[in-house]
Copies of this chain bind each other. A is one copy, B any other.
Amino acid sequence: MATYASVGGRRSRAGLPAVTPERVVRAALALTREHGLENWTLRQLAAGIGAYPAVIYHHVGDREAVVSAVLERVVAELPVPESDRPWRDWFEDLLTGWRPVLLTYPGVARRLAVHGALVPAMHTVIDCAVGVLRRAGLGDESVLACTLLLNQAWQSIAVEDDRGPGIRERAAELHASLRDRPDVPGLAALGRFLDENPDVDLFGYGLARTLDGVAARLES
């Protein structure tokens, strides 16, 4: 027979659901979507579920533990193509498919870039990715090429995360102002191009060039 305390104490009497790791992580995911992984505080997280900061420690751990749990969930959402595709298509689909997911959770891409394979949820897809390149005939270089492709994608998305609207606005003004500067023709060309193509797909361009570079290693 449950005592009063065992079915919920002051929280349930106040109409609040019991704090669970699941609820903490869900609130952290929501805060990450809105503010980015590094831009919410434990106190915000606690307030979001109507709890005291110390309760987060009791149920999940310190901020780092919450962040790890968020990472795990986001990585689980990342789509992975069928591994029988040609290697180039496979990586193109993989990384262009990851971008929109990672961009909705700002800050996660940077964690992946810095911690890489240390994020356990990443293991199965890395295993798969190295396999795709080895079957393509890249030999030992498969490890380097795989690391490079994943890292470049993560890093590039991480920078997109960090470029807030303020920076994008100031960049747009700069590009417009550089258009007519014959004294610096290279910068003028840059201003002209980026002023006319403000949403140019640098991610796709970089991915294509790196894939070209890896393809060239298979031809030799």
The answer to whether residues A206 and B152 also contact, given A118-B174, A128-B186, A186-B127 and a CB cut-off of 8 A, is yes
In this complex, how many residues of chain A approach chain B with their Cβ under 8 Å: the count is: 57
Interface centre among A134, A158, A170 (most CB of B within 10 A): A158
CA distance A10 to B114 in the complex (A): 47
Return A124 CB to nearest CB of chain B, in Å.
8
Q: A129 to chain B: which residues have CB within 8 Å?
A: 186
Q: A118 to chain B: which residues have CB within 8 Å?
A: 167, 170-171, 174
Residues of A whose CB lies within 8 Å of any CB of B are 110, 113-118, 123-124, 126-131, 134, 140, 142-148, 151-152, 155-156, 158-159, 162-163, 167, 170-171, 174, 184-187, 189-190, 193-194, 200, 202, 205-206, 208-214, 216-217
The 4 closest A-B pairs by CB, nearest first: A209-B213, A130-B186, A155-B155, A212-B213
